[in-house]
């Protein structure tokens, strides 16, 4: 079942991700763990942000990974996400609290 159409399929594990080269740079990933959509969360295995599971956000070769209590949709407006991103850019790792 493809709820998000062709673009959603392309973003899945068997889509464009298989075409990307290996990570050869300092990559930090901020994952959300809060969902606005209980139906999508029901369909996603494991903890998620309402769109993507936390496990699916991990990338081989990433330098750091952090999970914050934010939604996929609005994480870019969250002050803690912005502060963590800035900290990663300046120091090469996220603040763990």
**Sequence spans of domains, the chain:** 24-91
Q: Single out the residue of 69, 74, 67, 72 nearest to residue 94, CA to CA.
A: 67
What is the rounded CA–CA span in Å between residue 45 and residue 65? Answer: 19
Average pLDDT, rounded, for the chain: 86
The mean pLDDT value for 21-49 works out to 89
Looking at residue 90, its pLDDT comes to 98
- pTM of the predicted model, to two decimals? 0.78
pLDDT, position 42: 87
Q: pLDDT tens digits for 11-34?
A: 556 666 677 788 899 999 999 998
Q: Is residue 1 predicted with pLDDT exceeding 60?
A: no
């Amino acid at each position: 079942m493809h709820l998000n159409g062709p673009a959603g399929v392309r973003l899945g594990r068997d889509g464009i991700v298989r075409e990307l080269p290996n990570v050869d740079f300092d990559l930090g990933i901020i994952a959300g763990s809060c969902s606005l959509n209980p139906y999508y969360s029901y369909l996603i295995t494991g903890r998620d942000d309402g769109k993507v599971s936390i496990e699916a956000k991990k990338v081989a070769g990433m330098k750091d990974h952090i999970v914050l209590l934010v939604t996929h949709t609005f994480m870019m407006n969250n002050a803690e996400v912005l502060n963590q991103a800035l900290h990663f850019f300046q120091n090469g790792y996220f603040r763990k609290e």
